[in-house]
Structure 1
């Protein structure tokens, strides 16, 4: 990825010339710089992960919490920042017994 020296916008490479998508500035491509850059064109999208053959203990951390659906006392958990950065993370739980999913927020 290369950024324009004139306006700071991202440039695109066409043949041997970098062209700014905003101001139209052009720059000759340097082969040494191009060799160290990574292109997203060759990256492949990863598909869904099959976890059916994986032991529950290997999927993620567990904690002691009561499932509101079946009363089991163990669940896998994951924490994600889904609100503003100055607010606490949301905890997502999955019951190890019935696979019920729920979440908890700090109020």
Structure 2
């Protein structure tokens, strides 16, 4: 979409006809913008994805979660970090996610 720099109206497109090139024109004022039919690409740049460092690492996240005594099914260690999330309807209990402080094993309790 292009807008008229004079009055701000939406410019309309006019197809090329006979010897006149394609153009944008303003329906309310005399502004006209001719469109060049050939566009040259000077050079191509390859986009490189920049790696992003996480703001909070998994270890930091685990240290900030509350701790409870829950036996790990993997190693039997008694301390685990936990978090809760409502995964079903509101009248159902919340799902509790645990992470073992020793072996980092994850499990959930519905």
Give the TM-score of the pair, scaled to structure 1: 0.48
